[in-house]
Structure 1
Amino acid sequence: MLVLPAELTHAQAPACVRMLADALRAEPGPLAVADASELSSFDSSALAVLLECRREALALGKGFAVQRLPARLRDLASLYGVAELLPAAP
């Protein structure tokens, strides 16, 4: 499971991408799941981080899903037209 931090803004995004990419490469199984339940303070950079994780997962031949995406971030993803790229985890 890839766990997003409580705060994910432009300032934290580069380090978060590196951390999640490392965790993703170590994650066994065909599906990478990002857990956004702790995410409470964020900007659109959180979407960029999730989309980068999705890209990395697909490059590794894995599926990608997100669990507990905050409603505000889901709304932002819809606004930007990328919500379908961040499916809810089963």
Structure 2
Amino acid sequence: MRREGDSLILEGPVTLESVPGLIGPAEEHLRQGARVVDFRNVTEVDSAAVALALEWLRRAAESKTGLRLANLPAAMQNLAKLYGVSELLQSASS
């Protein structure tokens, strides 16, 4: 993961195995002003990616900060649709 301006760019897999290592660093970037989480360089997703995105959106709503999800992978969109949460992700994506 890397930061470009107000964007947090995720890289590589966002899966059950990788999410625990993403949580702390990502939360620090979000606290420091990242307002976009960009999935353009994500190579693999599973249900953990959907759960992580929903958690980030929940925290942003609680703190009344805007958060946008960009370039969601098709596989992640399909999982969100399967779980009935696609509208939540779509409302925050571009």
TM-score (norm 2): 0.81
Considering only aligned residues, what root-mean-square deviation do their CA atoms show, in Å?
Answer: 1.5
Q: 1:27 aligns with which of 9, 17, 33?
A: 33
Higher-strand-fraction structure: 2
Q: How far apart are 1:2 and its partner, in Å?
A: 2.0
1:44-83 → structure 2 map (5 Å cutoff): 44-83=47-86
TM-score (norm 1): 0.84
Q: 1:85 aligns with which of 81, 85, 88?
A: 88
Q: How far apart are 1:7 and its partner, in Å?
A: 0.9
Structure 2 unmatched runs, 5+: 1-6
Change (3 A) 1:54 1:62: same
Structure 1 unmatched runs, 5+: none
Moved over 6 A (4+): none
- The answer to whether the 8 Å contact 1:20/1:53 transfers is no
- Secondary structure, in 3 states, of the residue corresponding to 1:69? coil
CA distance in 2, matches of 1:60, 1:2: 18
Higher relative contact order (CA 8 A, sep 6+): 1
- The answer to whether the 8 Å contact 1:6/1:39 transfers is yes
CA distance in 1, matches of 2:63, 2:28: 12
- Secondary structure, in 3 states, of the residue corresponding to 1:48? helix
* Identity of matched residues, %: 34
